[in-house]
Amino acid sequence: MIPSLGPSLWLEESKSSETYLERFGSYMADLLLTRTPADVDRKNKIILEHIHPSFYHEAKKQLSQDRESIIKSDQSLLFKPLRSYIDPLKQTYVIEGELIAFIGKTGEKPACAQTEQKKFTFEFRCQGGKLLLKSLKRENL
């Protein structure tokens, strides 16, 4: 057996370890906040596999709108995190940072079109031994 390095990760029927919540939140943030026209369909598919049933239709609609915007404007999004933290009692992961949108230009380097300071709050729920995204709140800083 390979010895465990670092803090333990665990997931039960109705709760997860703080470390699991933090790492899964970081994983979902990367899928949702750093996107390009080339990877948006693949990332949307992965994200939808981790959505709580009560949030599924709203999330699917938002992901579809984001996809259309990214593809139509040949936009790439890059999120540079400045700080992140969790609330284990509420099962939330919060990440704050700079969201940068690059617009593609044929034959040229992409231009930075927009930079915003954003805060994203991911609320999770354990169900059936899986951690699922139950809501996502976006705020300007």
Alpha carbons within 13 A on the beta-carbon side of 109: 2
Evaluated on CA atoms 47, 136, 88, 119, the torsion sign reads positive
What's the average model confidence in pLDDT over 56-61?
98
- C-alpha R_g of the chain: 16
CA 121 from chain centre, in angstroms, equals: 9
Query: Which CATH number is 18-140 given?
Result: 3.10.450.230
pLDDT band at 92 (very low <50, low <70, confident <90, very high): very high
Global pTM value: 0.89
Percent of the chain surpassing pLDDT 70? 91
Q: What pLDDT was estimated at residue 3? A: 55
N residues, the chain? 141
Is the pLDDT at 25 greater than 80? The verdict is yes
CA 60 from chain centre, in angstroms, equals: 14
Q: Which residue has the tokens 């699991």?
A: 20
